[in-house]
Structure 1
Amino acid sequence: MSSDAADLASLAMLLADETRAAMCLALLDGRAWTAGELAAHAGVARSTATEHLDRLVGGGLLAEERQGRHRYVRLADASVAHLIEDLSARLPPRPPAPRNLRQATAAAAMKRARTCYDHLAGELGVAVADAMTARGLLNQRSGFALTDAGLAWLTAEAGVDAARLQGRRRPLARGCLDWTERRPHLAGVAGAQLCARFLERRWVVRIGSTRAVKVTPEGRSGLRALLGID
């Protein structure tokens, strides 16, 4: 057996555990969580969570930093977020399980609009990508790339600082298969900066401590003016 095959099997084993998978999915919000927060989220003891987190950090999927007595962990980088979101999008659709009103409301909010690490996903993320494509700002026919007009629009109309788009090893634009819509939304540096601008302008705001976001009244007006999204 080749070393590459063994390494790939080891990587797969990191996610082949429901507790570790739940932690990685939670960290798709792009923020750093404490071990205690992840333990509560996954429904396991703090000591159990620590063991799982040590494996994920050791396997390169998570990065950690310490502040005083607190240990914070986050996804190692955007490529890990893409891997997890891409795997989630390949899960077979399931019929909706019986839920109480609170769970149904939370699921509907996640489907409408959420963050995928540092860019927009859900119906809103796909709508942004579709609107940019319809206006000739984004090319989805051959790969997933900003057009020249799209690059100019991003700085002149969307208000993204041009300096934030340069000198990055990460792709400028990349399609990320949306796990609820089964269609791509905009990721990469452009997707991250566009999401950051929407949050800065409070066109979208986070819903509690989840990945879900909602469009504000200012956001509805802004998105309609910027991209014709109703």
Structure 2
Amino acid sequence: MSGDADLARVAELMADRARSRILLALTSGRELSASLLADEAGVSRSTASAHLRKLTEGGLIAVRADGKNRHYRLAGPAVSEVLERLMELAPPEPITSLRASTRASQMRRARSCYDHLAGQLGVGIMRSMLERGFLLGGDGGFHPGGEGADRPAAYGRDLDYELTGSGRDFLDDVGVRLPGGRRPLVRYCVDWTETRHHLAGQVGRGLHDRFLEAGWVEQRASSRAVRVTSAGAAALDRLFGLVVEPG
């Protein structure tokens, strides 16, 4: 027989600041090397190795061996969703350095939220698709006074957005391939920096992958932040009517 869920064991893994920074870095949805994660956590390689071992044994991250190198990723979407929900409750860390200020600015501007685009970029894309009639179901805004289950930094549940026929045609023209599977075609998250909606679900994943494939955005090293390229800025203007500076 099994007892109640051992929440304390999971909470203990996340309570360490270095381990929490490792987990946040991995919410980009990519595999990252141990050395990059050590830099992200601000600890030595040997200390990072001990933290990575605990997180792996605790089932929060998975590891892939590549010769002598080890690459780490979150153990699955459920872990990412838990982390996003915890970010709703967690206060922001105080910014005490230029590096931290730059990173915060990059994260707000454009980032990946597990496997879809977030920040000002993700919110702008969803707003554009709503204005052009490619999506129906809401206005893309988070209205705290009238919301039900929705909270910042979490998947939305109050609204049912749907992709229109013209929206499907638009995605085909852009070259977006929908991944299929059981996940909903359209989901949304309440963006934790912009407090508006950005796209998730199959459409969000398809747009994210297309942007990377086309070279319109590039993932920044050991971070969830992405950089909009010159080609990406031109594509955003042409396809979505968004004026975004490269960089």
TMscore range, shorter length? 0.7 to 0.9
Structure 1 window deviating more from structure 2 (83-92 vs 140-149): it is 140-149
1:173 aligns to 2:186 (yes or no): yes
The structural deviation recorded for 1:172 is 2.7
Residue 186 in structure 1 maps to residue 199 in structure 2: yes
- What is the TM-score of this pair, normalised by structure 1? 0.82
Counterpart in the other structure of 2:57:
58
Pick from 199, 211, 214: which aligns with 1:201? 214
AA aligned opposite 1:149: G
Within 5 Å, which residues of 2 pair with 1:16-31? 16-31=15-30
**Alpha carbons of structure 1 residues 11 and 146: separation in structure 2 relative to 1, 3 Å:** farther
Contiguous gaps of at least 5 residues in structure 2: 139-157
1:127-166 equivalence runs, <5 A? 127-141=124-138, 143-149=159-165, 152-153=168-169, 155-161=171-177, 164-166=178-180
Q: Distance in 1 between matches of 2:222 and 2:48?
A: 19
Structure 1 residues not aligned, in runs of 5+: none
Change (3 A) 1:77 1:152: same
Distance 1:58 1:115, change over 3 A: same
Separation in structure 2 between the aligned mates of residue 40 and residue 65 of structure 1, nearest angstrom = 19
Which of 152-161 and 135-144 deviates more?
Answer: 135-144
The match for 1:124 among 118, 121, 124 is 121
Between stretches 39-48 and 183-192, larger displacement belongs to 39-48
Deviations along 1:21-74, one digit per CA (max 9) or x if unpaired, are 110011122221222332232122334323322222233221111111222110
- Conserved? CA contact 1:85–1:177, under 8 Å: no
- Give the direction of change, closer, same or farther, for the CA distance of 1:204–1:36 in structure 2 (3 Å limit): closer
Out of 221, 227, 233, which is 1:220 matched to?
233
Distance in 2, Cα, partners of 1:150 & 1:10: 48
Is the contact made by 1:206 and 1:213 (CA closer than 8 Å) also made in structure 2?
yes
Shift of 1:150: 6.2
Per-residue Cα deviation, 1:87-136 (whole angstroms, up to 9, x for no partner):
22333457x63433x44333222211112222111111111122222233
| C-alpha distance 49-169 of structure 1, shift in aligned 2 (>3 A) | farther
More displaced stretch, 130-139 vs 145-154: 145-154
Is the CA contact 1:90–1:179 (under 8 Å) kept in the aligned structure 2? no
How many residue pairs were aligned? 223
Map of 1:39 onto structure 2: 38
Cα distance change, pair 170–12 in 1 and its aligned pair in 2 (3 A): farther
Match of 2:97 among 79, 99, 102: 99
- Matched-pair contact (CA < 8 Å) for 2:133–2:167: no
Structure 1 stretches of 4+ moved >6 Å: none
Alpha-carbon distance between aligned partners in 1 of 2:92 and 2:43, rounded to the nearest angstrom: 27
Q: Displacement, 1:137?
A: 2.5
1:134-185 per-residue CA deviation (whole Å, 9 max, x = no partner) reads: 2333345453433233651354222123xx432x233333222322223331
Of 144-153 and 214-223, more deviation after overlay is shown by: 144-153
TM-score by length of 2: 0.77
Q: What code does the residue aligned with 1:121 have?
A: A
1:83 paired to 2:82: yes
- Secondary structure (helix, strand or coil) at the match of 1:165 reads coil
